[in-house]
Amino acid sequence: MSAQIIDGKSIAANLRADMAKEVEKLKTSGITPGLAVILVGDDPASQVYVGSKIKACKEVGIESFEHKMPASSSEQEIRHVIKNLNENPDVHGILLQLPLPDHLSEVQEDLVQTIAPEKDVDGLTTTNAGKLFLGHNDGLVPCTPQGSLKLIHSVETNLSGKHAVIIGRSNLFGKPMAQLLLQENCTVTTAHSRTQSLPELCAQADILVAAVGRPKMVQDDWVKPDAIVIDVGINRMENGKLCGDVDFDTAKEVASALTPVPGGVGPMTIACLMENTLKAAQAD
């Protein structure tokens, strides 16, 4: 029996529809949620992402403020933009589109930390990361892990006691994903490129989450029969097509549920960004 394909597009569309109602309610009390996006340089993938975020803002009724800066921008210039946005009462969420151009790679983390925690809709400041780690629910949680958890919940609401394996340990995804699954009472294993016997470990997972950025790395024999598989990877193949970190065609014959690429985690990330912006505006 083939796996249930988890339709991130339709789940995200339902989430946006619910949010549009909440935004409308907030507007009647005189608050219009505002999201500012800072795009430094002209990286094509980043431009596509930013375009999708601006489009989602329109659909939900969130006001967007786009700040396009040249690739040659200095650290000080970016700090200045962030400072102004931190102080702007019309802006409830600030997103610094990553990665930054190469000459800024060493200060990327420092720049993220200058965003006011209550406007940090990417959930990357130490304040929000700390709140997630301590299990406080008043922080802003990174969008991709949050969206991934919603996709898992769309097929299984009770995750208590399940073994979850996450391949990837980044601050942006792997670590916050582990925290969210721990809060669901899962037994969580965080694996990475240096993990020994990785295929065997993955094959023990009731929930397998792949976020490594290697096309079709996860094969069918890495998947436990009837596991839920969430594919966070997005890779462009030589033929121009997109694929995930999971070999979709073989894994779907083993898993109970599986996200496609594209159309799985991606739409949920943007929907959760809208949700974080709304949450920040409601807390204002």
Active site residues: 53, 97, 122
Phi, psi of 219 (to 5 degrees): -95, 170
Residue 86 CA to residue 82 CA, distance in Å, equals 6
Q: Which amino acid is at 135?
A: G
Q: Which amino acid is at 209?
A: V
Q: Rounded to the nearest 5 degrees, what angle is found at the Cα of 8, between the Cα atoms of 271 and 245?
A: 110
Do 163 and 189 meet the contact criterion of CB atoms below 8 Å apart? yes
- The sign one gets for the Cα dihedral 87, 98, 20, 118 is negative
Residue 170 burial (10 A CB sphere; 0-12, 13-18, 19+): middle
All residues at 6 or more sequence positions from 4 whose CB lies less than 8 Å from its CB, including other chains: 155, 256, 257, 258
Place of tokens 């702007």: 88
- The sign one gets for the Cα dihedral 268, 34, 62, 278 is positive
